[in-house]
Structure 1
Amino acid sequence: MSQNPANSQHAGAEQPRAARPRWVVAILLLLAGLLCAGFFALGNWQLQRLSWKQALINRISQAQQAAPVPPPSAAQWAQWTPAQQQALEYHRVRLQGRFAHEQETLVRASTELGTGYWVLTPMAIELEGQPRGWVIVNRGYVGAEQVAPASRPAPKPTTESQTVIGLLRLTEPVGSLLQKNQPAQARWYSRDVAAIAQARGLSGDVAPFFVDAVAAPEQPEWPRAGLTVLSFKNNHLVYAITWFGLALMVLGAAAFLARTEWRLRQARHAY
């Protein structure tokens, strides 16, 4: 009995690889979809950060070119909105008042001079000779050798009114990312204005911001003012491209998987 050549040729041919179970393919495609959505979301977030960073850099650049202005008054502090705070951040302001040096607070700092402390001192703000609340002033940086007030040049008497020009900064509540402020132990890791004012027992109105003093020729060497960071890295566009690239790679892998599995099933049916 003769054998059909077509059947003989078909029988000798290598069978195509079996496709994966449908539930396995479905799970893989679902995971790919979740990864793709997550990467796209991270890319969009980086674009939002890019817009925020560019606005911050432009705002700081414009603020540094403007002349010092009076800070918001005590009457405005209670109604100070987040939008108003952001609009005035890093602006140069002029303060007039008397320092309460006995109430200074040391806050951990990491600067271009090394690791040390910011010296934050309350200033009793005056307007036409009358007290108008407190503003906490970051007078500058000191290292471990200048922590004790006696190791620094003696400040001006507290009875003498002074003028300070500095940058308006927003309060840093709670603490740093890894370390929380511990007022009872006098351990401060961020410039939390409200907590410092409470720990020092300041009576009356306290500004919801602090001021970084800028360097001036008449200022003593310590505390060292003028170390505010005014330049910021802006790599958000690179990060966004990276996340979008990963999303496209996952999308391409999912498309390749779906096409391959479809072809395998078609080949098995044709066989």
Structure 2
Amino acid sequence: MNWRRLVVPGIAAFVTFWLLIGLGVWQLHRLKWKEGILAAIHQAEISAPIPLPAHPTPFEKVSIAGQWIPGKAALYGDEVHDSPNGPVPGGELIMPLRRPDGQVVLVDLGWVPKQIPVPLAEPEGLTEAVGYVHAPVTPGWFAGTDDPKRGLYYTLDPQKIGAFMGLQVAPYMLIAMGELPPPGSMAPQPAQSLPTPPNNHYEYALTWFGFALVLVFEFFFFARKRLLDS
């Protein structure tokens, strides 16, 4: 009988169809999970910072207390910002903060319109830095070449930056958060929000469900043609 010629393709199409449906449902579950993470990040942004935990994540707004180590600074990256007077080159100003327990944390204070690192005249005594932690970054193929003698870096690696400062530092960076300085100011421009992971799971779910629908139509026309040609 002609329909027997469709048994093997039909079984394959049936298994593939439910596999695609399963992937779509999985993405919907991932969507709900990701929305929970984004809601927690938003809540952290509008809430007061928490003391730096033992195992910080990049999705928490944390605070650390300590004293700035004078005379030491580095500049990360070479980002260009627009201004009323045209493009302005600059980078992220990094300074070390020594905590009461002796641990040194490198703090990215924000973008400054400078091409060489100049330490800020931070107040002496115990102070507080607020922001989020950033894990070390592995140099990419197209990363610039670091120039430690000038204090210029193109890879956010706290251990490497700290070593050239003559300091043993924490294995992460603190990205400072705060209010933006007035336009035209030479002060650092700190981060305005916590990092957020991408949330494309709805589009992924539609893609898998779409593939399942296409498979149904493709198998229908395939089966029709095979039966008519027999």
TM score, norm. by length of structure 1: 0.60
Q: Are the structure 2 counterparts of residues 40 and 136 from structure 1 closer, same or farther at C-alpha, using a change threshold of 3 Å?
A: farther
Matched, 1:105 2:68: no
| Cα distance, 1:245 vs structure 2 | 0.7
Partner in structure 2 of residue 147 of structure 1:
115
| Cα distance, 1:105 vs structure 2 | 3.5
Partner in structure 1 of residue 154 of structure 2:
188
Rounded Cα–Cα distance in structure 1 between residues aligned with 2:18 and 2:200: 22
Rounded Cα–Cα distance in structure 2 between residues aligned with 1:59 and 1:172: 24
Aligned positions of 1:255-266 closer than 5 A: 255-265=220-230
Rounded Cα–Cα distance in structure 2 between residues aligned with 1:231 and 1:263: 54
Match of 1:60 among 29, 41, 61: 41
Identify unmatched segments of 5+ residues in structure 2.
Answer: none
Rounded Cα–Cα distance in structure 2 between residues aligned with 1:39 and 1:263: 28
Match of 1:50 among 31, 36, 44: 31
Matched, 1:236 2:184: no
Q: Which amino acid aligns with 1:188?
A: Y
C-alpha contact (below 8 Å) 1:106/1:119 kept by paired residues: yes
Q: Which amino acid aligns with 1:262?
A: L
Match of 2:96 among 97, 122, 125: 122
C-alpha contact (below 8 Å) 2:136/2:173 kept by paired residues: no
Q: Which amino acid aligns with 1:67?
A: A
Q: Which has the larger radius of gyration?
A: 1
Percent of pairs with identical residues: 23
Rounded Cα–Cα distance in structure 1 between residues aligned with 2:109 and 2:214: 51
| Cα distance, 1:213 vs structure 2 | 1.7
Q: Which structure features the higher share of helix residues?
A: 1
How many residue pairs align between the two structures? Answer: 218
Match of 1:202 among 164, 167, 172: 167
Rounded Cα–Cα distance in structure 1 between residues aligned with 2:81 and 2:17: 40
Q: Are the structure 2 counterparts of residues 57 and 211 from structure 1 closer, same or farther at C-alpha, using a change threshold of 3 Å?
A: same
Partner in structure 2 of residue 253 of structure 1:
218
Rounded Cα–Cα distance in structure 1 between residues aligned with 2:33 and 2:47: 21
Classify the secondary structure of the residue corresponding to 2:173: strand
Match of 2:125 among 146, 161, 174: 161
- Structural RMSD (CA): 4.2
Partner in structure 1 of residue 137 of structure 2:
173
| Cα distance, 1:194 vs structure 2 | 3.2
Rounded Cα–Cα distance in structure 2 between residues aligned with 1:111 and 1:227: 16
| Cα distance, 1:134 vs structure 2 | 0.9
Classify the secondary structure of the residue corresponding to 1:241: helix
